[in-house]
Homo-oligomer: A and B are copies of this chain.
């Protein structure tokens, strides 16, 4: 940690700061400059709560050198983590995976039909929402447990592992009974009770980046899960909120290679939610794989125009089939 003093800070101010640092059990190393003095803090292990110092007279700024996460950081865990989802391996060195399915489970026919199709087309896992977070209360909220049962049935019939969202801590047990990979949605990235609960189970977790989460907050959220003992976490970039409204969100694809530098956890990309526009899903799926993502989540629906949610961004069977042809060519080109 580095403490930057005001240009006008007095020697007394500086002494007061070093005294507090000593009291915290660290060592203070003043760095006098021409314009102002900075004070280095030595001997801290990990992140230090800076509120005590920001308080003091003459302090302009406190700069953190350590980060609010450590378990997810590559600094302290150089080897890549490979997440095993019911036999499908996700991570560096593994063939990139494709998770496909509808936004929401709507009926047995819809989900089973989709499962069999995406399996045939080459998907590695089946996705489908049973619990749906919706902006307004007057829209379809998901089939809940009934949806989990249908998803699980579709998983068995197709032989695909299933991925579905869990929205609250008290549902973790229930969802874990059915799902092979439990998804935390963007709106819940900082639902800390939920993260802790997921840290205590023995199933892998897919953590989506919050709509306006910084990379640091994203990794710190994953830290909640690892801190409870569950290291089987896959990160997922799904677009962030910006001033731009031409797409549903702004796909921050550069974080895929960046996360691979900063963390040992696998990173996937969801081009469907990121763009919100069917025609943009294929090019951004291929771009994500080219950028080094360990997998993608793609929405597919037998009849998008009848979908109860997210129809406009769902691929048709035909569209998904065409995309998978390109995905196979690309993964071969990439050496898988």
Interface residues in chain A, defined as those with a beta carbon under 8 Å from any beta carbon in chain B = 2, 4, 6-8, 20, 29, 31-36, 38, 40-47, 49-52, 54-56, 61, 63, 65-66, 68-70, 75-76, 78, 133-141, 167-170, 187-188, 190-194, 196, 211-212, 214-217, 220-221, 223-224, 227, 240-247, 250-258, 261, 271, 274-275, 277, 279-280, 283-284, 286-292, 304-312, 329-330, 333
Contacts and interface: CB of A to CB of B under 8 A. Distances in A.
A138 B227 contact: yes
A246 to B, nearest CB: 4
B8 A75 contact: yes
B246 A304 contact: no
Nearest to A187: B190
A155 to B, nearest CB: 25
Nearest to A54: B312
B55 A38 contact: no
Contacts of A33: 41-44, 65-66
Given A135-B217, A211-B212, A167 B192 contact: yes
Contact of A190 (B7, B135, B223, B247): B135
Given A4-B65, A51-B304, A69-B136, 16 more contacts: A35-B46, A36-B65, A40-B40, A47-B138, A49-B309, A51-B307, A51-B309, A68-B139, A134-B192, A135-B217, A135-B220, A137-B196, A244-B252, A246-B255, A247-B254, A290-B290
Interface centre among A8, A42, A250, A308 (most CB of B within 10 A): A250
A35 B73 CA distance: 12
A197 to B, nearest CB: 10
